[in-house]
Chains A and B, each alone.
Chain A
């Protein structure tokens, strides 16, 4: 009996002993995701150099990288970056604010749900790009229509996450709030919102993704600066490297903003007792 117990303890110790290769292993895990893009890039580069593909239409990664470096070296990129990021930030901000307020209202008040949700759902079925002509007509070709379009894209996922998230909060936890006689506002603030936070974060991330989609759409529909404008310009002037450079920058910005969002909200959802934390 005693020997058995000891052997368990020994096995336990082995399991929790700090792994010296832990850092390396983590690096390897992240590295695994880089393998595929690297192989593709190298293959493309090789294909371009050996003349298998025409570099005129499909410039190799080295050319695209050189173009990006040049954009930064000449400082040309900054105005465009600032323009795109400003639109994105404003559109995202307004979209999140509207989605949060309306989503919370509809999620909390059955009356508001019956009154507003059918209309919102109907509007959601309109592909957001379809608003473009109307927004341009109403709000002009400049910033307002672009920011509105982005905000519309961001609004729906955020709205949905709260309108549905509130409804699925455990009734038993809501009852705890009732026992302590929370006001409606406190019920939302202290029980419903925290309980919905994991869903809300998913809504925010979905909104962010759509936001980037619509910032491109907005800039393609007519702009004098921004990453989307650089793409349009590359198309007009027949420079595929310029288009690909903007594409890469969009990808980096999208990934980076999502990473920041997840990092910022992680402490708030750390309490989750899920399958994989």
Chain B
């Protein structure tokens, strides 16, 4: 059964066509990676699922109900940590828990900080964190509400290779614990192959789905293994084939 669905969703900004007739369904517990060139509408697609934008036509559904705004079951992690600079790490993580009493809030915040390994930094201000630590705090902030879905827009792209692989492993650990559904935008094929069950390629503008490919690697995945490299080679050739139009011939779309 599909947890998240885009049903012929289009998005227009003025006369700029960001997404055209995109249909996608994501099963519960699945990890989907969105890849594609700059401007192909990846962020826009994610923002439709997050309820931060409404589709111009078509529908975005969660559990078969229209997504008409951000909702507690769907957490979002942006490319930048977006921590509120005037709040401590703990207050940032607990930002969305204002409805809980202080004791319960602190318990959840501590647990979330524990899970990203930053329990010792609860009282620190964001400006004193490194980029990787700040992004971990933003992961903790998204996790603290125990969302069913986590949407991530190039969450690790600003980080160095070491921190990036660390955080990828970390995300997988978190995923193994309570199996949230993950939809992740990335420019990094290794990242897509380490994390995802399925890779979806967008091209545009106007953004549309060009190709899809399940990742046939058993978990845990070894980045250096021959099977991994072979999978990457095949994914690359799929991408190239798709871009040269052999798999999918994009019709030229008239923008009125």
Interface set, chain B 58-76, CB cutoff 8 A to A: 69-72, 75-76
Asked if B212 is at the interface (CB within 8 A of a chain A CB), the reply is no
A191 pairs with B76, CB closer than 8 A: no
Is the C-beta of B172 less than 8 angstroms from some C-beta in chain A? no
A47-83 contacts to B (CB < 8 Å): none
* Selected contact of B127 from candidates A173, A197, A273, CB within 8 Å: A273
Please measure, in the bound complex, the distance between the C-alpha atom of A179 and the C-alpha atom of B152, giving whole angstroms.
13
A271: chain B residues within 8 A (beta carbon): 85-87, 125-127
Cβ B72 vs Cβ A181 within 8 A? yes
A180 to B74, CA, bound (A): 10
A194 & B84 in contact (Cβ 8 Å cutoff) = yes
Bound-state CA distance A154–B126 (Å) is 34
Interface of A is mostly: helix
Residues in B neighbouring A180, C-beta threshold 8 A:
70, 95-96
Interface of B is mostly: loop
A124 within 8 A of B: no
User: A276 contacts the other chain (Cβ, under 8 Å)?
Assistant: no
149-199 of chain A: CB within 8 A of chain B: 172-173, 175-176, 178-181, 186, 190-191, 194-195, 197
A235 is an interface residue with CB less than 8 A from chain B: no
A265 contacts chain B at the CB level, 8 A cutoff: no
Using Cβ atoms and an 8 Å threshold, which residues of chain A touch B126?
271
Most buried by B among A180, A186, A191: A180
Which A residues are in CB contact (< 8 Å) with B78? Answer: 172, 175
B-chain residues with CB within 8 Å of residue A179 when the two chains form the complex: 50, 52, 70, 75-76, 96
* 8 A Cβ contacts from A199-252 to B: none
Contact A272/B85 with A175-B52, A180-B96 known, Cβ cut-off 8 Å: yes
> Using Cβ atoms and an 8 Å threshold, which residues of chain B touch A273?
85, 127
How many angstroms from the CA of A197 to the CA of B71 in the assembled complex?
29
Contacts of B148 in A (CB 8 A): none
Asked whether any CB of chain A lies closer than 8 Å to the CB of B82, the reply is yes
Residue of A nearest to B125 (CB): A271
Size bracket, chain B contacts? 20 to 34
Asked if A176 and B84 make an inter-chain contact with CB atoms under 8 angstroms apart, the answer reads yes
Interface size grouping (class) on chain A:
10 to 19
In the assembled complex, the Cα of A103 lies from the Cα of B70 at a distance in Å of 28
Check: B80 CB closer than 8 A to any chain A CB. Answer: yes
Query: Once the chains bind, are A191 and B52 in contact (CB under 8 Å)?
Result: no
A180, B80: Cα distance in complex, Å = 17
Given the known interface contacts A271-B127, A272-B85, A273-B85, the answer about A181 and B52 at a Cβ–Cβ threshold of 8 Å is no
User: Are the C-beta atoms of A172 and B86 separated by less than 8 Å?
Assistant: no
Q: Point out the residue from B70, B72, B86 that lies within 8 Å of A178, measured CB to CB.
A: B70
For B84, what are the chain A residues with a Cβ–Cβ distance below 8 Å? 173, 176, 191, 194-195
CA distance A271 to B86 in the complex (A): 5
Q: How far is the CB of B142 from chain A (nearest CB, A)?
A: 9
Question: What residues of B have a CB within 8 angstroms of the CB of A172 in the complex?
Answer: 78, 80, 82
Cα separation A195 to B95 with both chains bound (whole Å): 15
Q: Which of the residues A176, A186, A195 comes within 8 Å of B86, measured between beta carbons?
A: A195
Report how far A172 CA is from B86 CA in the complex, Å.
15
Complex CA distance for A178 and B69, rounded to whole angstroms:
9
Query: Contact at A197–B52, with CB atoms within 8 Å?
Result: no
Beta-carbon nearest neighbor of B50 in chain A: A179
Q: Are B86 and A194 in touch, CB under 8 angstroms?
A: yes
Q: Which A residues touch B87, using CB under 8 A?
A: 271
Contacts A172-B78, A179-B50, A273-B127; A197 near B70 (Cβ below 8 A): no
CB B55 to nearest CB in A, in angstroms, measures 17
Q: How far is the CB of A168 from chain B (nearest CB, A)?
A: 15
| Closest chain A residue to B96, Cβ basis | A180
Residue from B69, B80, B85 in contact with A181 in the complex, judged by beta carbons closer than 8 Å: B69
Q: Say whether A175 contacts B82, CB under 8 Å.
A: yes
Q: Chain A's nearest CB lies how many Å from the CB of B70? A: 5
A-B contacts, 7 of them at CB < 8 A, read A173-B84, A175-B78, A176-B84, A176-B95, A195-B86, A271-B125, A272-B85
Starting from the known contacts A172-B82, A195-B86, 16 additional A-B residue pairs (CB-CB under 8 Å) come to A172-B78, A172-B80, A175-B52, A175-B78, A176-B82, A176-B84, A178-B52, A178-B70, A179-B70, A180-B70, A181-B70, A181-B72, A190-B95, A194-B84, A271-B85, A271-B125
Which 9 A-B residue pairs are closest in the complex by CB-CB distance? A273-B127, A180-B96, A271-B86, A194-B86, A179-B70, A179-B76, A271-B85, A176-B82, A172-B82
